[in-house]
Amino acid sequence: MALESFKADVLAREAGRIKNRYMQTLGGQALYFAIIAAAVGSGLYFFIGVNPLSAFCALWVGCMGGVWVSFGIRKTQMSFQDLSIPDADRLEPSIRLIFAGILTFFLGFALMKGAVSVEIANLKSGDIASDFVTACIFGFACGISELALPAKVSQQAARFLDFK
């Protein structure tokens, strides 16, 4: 009983600080990666005009914001174990962001080429190569679903490689 009381006291005292520190670290790195992608995408757009590479930079920017929001949504309450390891998969913030970004790129390629099609109201996945807002929205959705994204991309890749 004394151990449980001690754990509850430590959790009450430290959970907010640890969650906020992790959110700051994740957010800072997401912002850093997003600024680089926005700069590259803007430069490409300025010199080339509308092009898929600029759109993929917008997809990346959206993904970075989505991953940050994802952690805040998922971890509304922390456990005692979360104090030392905020996420069960043990990925560091920069690795989490790069991993989600690469998976989002893969999904973006599949969406752009029509291997996968998604339509939500007036948003059509086929438009991501030419519409930066659409690309950013799809990137944000991928970032928010960063924990489900590996399984979905893996399933899609398995279907693609299912030779007959």
pLDDT tens figures, 4-40: 776 777 666 676 777 888 889 999 999 999 999 999 9
Please give the Cα distance from 160 to 24 (Å, whole number): 38
Q: What is the pTM of this model?
A: 0.83
Residue 43: both structure tokens together: 């430069």
Which of 54-58, 84-88, 146-150 is predicted least confidently? 84-88
Q: What are phi and psi of 94, to 5 degrees?
A: -65, -40
Residue 147: both structure tokens together: 């924990």
Domains contained in the chain, number: 1
Residues 6+ apart with CB under 8 A from 26: 67, 68, 71, 93, 96, 97
Task: Give the residue, 102 or 6, on which the prediction is more confident.
Answer: 102
Please give the Cα distance from 63 to 66 (Å, whole number): 5
Domain span including residue 88: 2-160
